[in-house]
Structure 1
Amino acid sequence: MDMKLKLWSWAGGFSAETGLFVFLEMAAAVWVVGGVRDPTMGVDWRLLVVFMVSRVFVVVSVNKEEIEEIARGLELSNVNFIWVVNFSFDEKISGSDKILPEGYIERVKERGMIVAKWAPQAKILRHSNIGGFLNHCGSNSILESLYFGVPLIAMPVLVDQFIAARYMVELGVGLEVKREENGKVKAEEIAKAIKNLMVEKKGEELRDR
């Protein structure tokens, strides 16, 4: 059977909850996987990290406004990425809502992969192509980041996450996205943190620790 057909039978489908659909072209650099939450479905998640070298892995639960800022930040950074799109637990999203900015997937398809709601975090982090991990600095993410030796880009939300983020920065294993005085995070600061980790010498030093 043709591989595309296999992929369709494994992962194809429309998610009414998120409005995301599956992109199946083998040559495409962007995959949007809707509603895949069960790792036993047969999807070979290794495909997510073999297209290009040196990626940043993004896992954060955010609201629609912050998703737009992260999307712009990733685009501005011009860095390869895998992004697991998660909405905050208190936000209801209908299938008619646009998750990402119009035309975004097309613009970043040569260097970005976007996954809805779930991905095998540990399997992705252990891959040698992953050069950075943007997350909220929750305890599980910190432990996995340290275990697999992947530097953090911290975007904390809760009080304990802010404390943990400061420790990670002080230990020299991560960077923190700077927020505005009103607590909001902007695309430009996200892009700056990503580029500092993935492109600048500072990132090399963190990965060498």
Structure 2
Amino acid sequence: MSNSIKGVHILIFPYPAQGHMLPMLDLAHQLALRGITITILVTPKNLPILNPLLSTHHPSSIQTLVLPFPSHPSLPSGVENIKDIGNAGNLPMINALGKLHDPIIHWFKSHPSPPVAILSDFFLGWTLHLAHQLGIPRIVFHSIASFLICVTNFLWQNIDTVRSLPVVHFPDLPRSPSFAADHLPSIYRAYRESDPDGEFLKDSMLANITSWGCVFNSLDALEGQYLDHLKNKMGHQRMWVVGPLSLFAGAETMGRINPDKDSGDRVLAWLDGCPDGSVLYVCFGSQKLLKRDQMEALAAGLEHSKIRFVWVVKSVTAQQVEDGYGFVPDGFEDRVLGRGMVIKGWAPQMSILSHRAVSGFLSHCGWNSVLEGIMAGVMILAWPMEADQFVNARLLVEDVGAGVRVCEGADAVPDSTELAQTIANSMSGDTSVQKVRAKELQDKAVEAVNESGSSWRDLEGLVNELVQL
């Protein structure tokens, strides 16, 4: 390790939501392996998420800056992570974290060897103004698709003209996509003019566009045309495309704590008894609960498809049941015994997707799930519901051809007969266009992170750029 690298210290500031934090910790791990000294900023209740990373590296390599979580009237006391409040909490969470501006300035000025750059999540765009005050560059970390950033940059820059449109067209983007207003990213739709929280959000998002550089957890083979579009718009070359980060050597444990080993062992043993490529994995991420009629339609679709499946469902409270959220219908597990497995709670998603028996993934199309599907080489059956998921589903289905849309919308209830047919058709045989394309993308992803691959080169390029600061 050269002394020039060893002296480089950066501040990493993740956003406290699983889909944002885990890839950023994967990036921190890779930078630390390459000799960069890192301070990671978290609030107290998010500190345990760092344990796998901190236990892997020497304390001189990665340190923590733990600052008290600032209160916000729209956040219940004690909530410091989006998993405890859901996506509706993003707007107040972003604003609450903005109050860490002064404590960060104080820490920086009292540090004997302060950071030469700040690398922060795209939900923390206000850190650009902080970086300007400190006289250091700010690099944005995008834990999402570059296609989504192309869409949201246009929306924030033209918000006064597009806010009232039922359908928004993006003529300057590759393939000239258009999206219905209610399929646009949730965080954009949360904006309200003249609302202080909304104006702070808008300013933060616009700040991302003018930041010194940006890092994407994506890969050229998946999004090359959108990455090129962004680079042309930025007018400089300080863009590093380094994904899938969790596919890099040694990345598999960063921040991913297994709370239920027995459950993981049980499902993998069950999959061992299934023929190759015969199983559909069904999971809608860590945030989403389905309503009762959605659960019943999905259960009926799985049952009548005659396809083997693993279905991960979130446990619901009595209050959530009262509010209309659903649970697995009575008798369902008995009727599919031997062909289907229901997991209530946590499941080892990457291990399941990578199993030889699994060839399909019925997903909400959150970006981390999309990348995990690609890394495993499985086709995706898309049911986008909120946030970035409609944009991701379009990328997978229309642009890349590695997925099939089965339903769309947070409140949509699929026709169970049609759903069963789509599942059966998609899962039969190995020669469908989508399955072949998924395997091709898997090969490209592995190639990208191997030595001299496109993501490996960009990661090395980022380190070299940091060394020059």
- 1:136 aligned partner: 364
Paired residue total? 168
- 2:425 aligned partner: 196
Q: Which one has a bigger Cα radius of gyration?
A: 2
Match for residue 283 of structure 2 among 49, 56, 59:
59
Deviation at 1:105, TM superposition (A): 1.3
Deviation at 1:43, TM superposition (A): 5.1
CA RMSD of aligned residues (A): 2.8
1:178–1:189 CA contact under 8 A, matched in 2: no
1:125–1:145 CA contact under 8 A, matched in 2: yes
Match for residue 49 of structure 1 among 244, 261, 271:
271
Aligned partner of 1:152: which letter? I
Deviation at 1:106, TM superposition (A): 1.4
Deviation at 1:40, TM superposition (A): 4.2
Deviation at 1:196, TM superposition (A): 2.3
Deviation at 1:57, TM superposition (A): 0.2
* Cα distance between partner residues in 1 of 2:428 and 2:310: 16
- 1:9 aligned partner: none
Aligned partner of 1:49: which letter? L
Deviation at 1:175, TM superposition (A): 0.5
Aligned partner of 2:397: which letter? V
- 2:354 aligned partner: 126
* 1:77-106 Cα shifts (integer Å, max 9, x gaps): 1100000012689x7248xx9832232111
* Cα distance between partner residues in 2 of 1:46 and 1:160: 30
Does residue 107 of structure 1 match 2:339? no
Match for residue 149 of structure 1 among 377, 402, 405:
377
Deviation at 1:63, TM superposition (A): 2.1
* 1:86-145 Cα shifts (integer Å, max 9, x gaps): 2689x7248xx9832232111110200010021000000111100100010001100000
Query: Which one has more relative contact order, counting CA pairs under 8 Å at least 6 apart?
Result: 1
* Cα distance between partner residues in 2 of 1:108 and 1:178: 23
Does residue 165 of structure 1 match 2:393? yes
Deviation at 1:208, TM superposition (A): 1.9
- 1:38 aligned partner: 259
Aligned partner of 2:274: which letter? M
* 1:171-200 Cα shifts (integer Å, max 9, x gaps): 1111011459x8432222321321221026
Which region of structure 1 is more displaced relative to structure 2, 102-111 or 188-197?
188-197
Unaligned runs of 5+ in 1: 1-36
Q: 3-state SS of the aligned residue for 1:92? A: helix
Aligned partner of 1:51: which letter? G
Unaligned runs of 5+ in 2: 1-257, 438-469
The 3 A distance-change label for structure 1 pair 163 and 127 is same
Q: 3-state SS of the aligned residue for 2:281? A: strand
- TM-score, normalization by structure 1: 0.70
1:179–1:186 CA contact under 8 A, matched in 2: no
* 1:4-26 Cα shifts (integer Å, max 9, x gaps): xxxxxxxxxxxxxxxxxxxxxxx
1:130–1:150 CA contact under 8 A, matched in 2: yes
The 3 A distance-change label for structure 1 pair 208 and 131 is same
Q: 3-state SS of the aligned residue for 1:197? A: helix
Aligned partner of 2:371: which letter? L
1:132–1:151 CA contact under 8 A, matched in 2: yes
Aligned partner of 2:270: which letter? L
The 3 A distance-change label for structure 1 pair 86 and 187 is farther
Stretches (4+) displaced over 3 A: 39-43
* Cα distance between partner residues in 2 of 1:158 and 1:49: 31
2:297–2:413 CA contact under 8 A, matched in 1: no
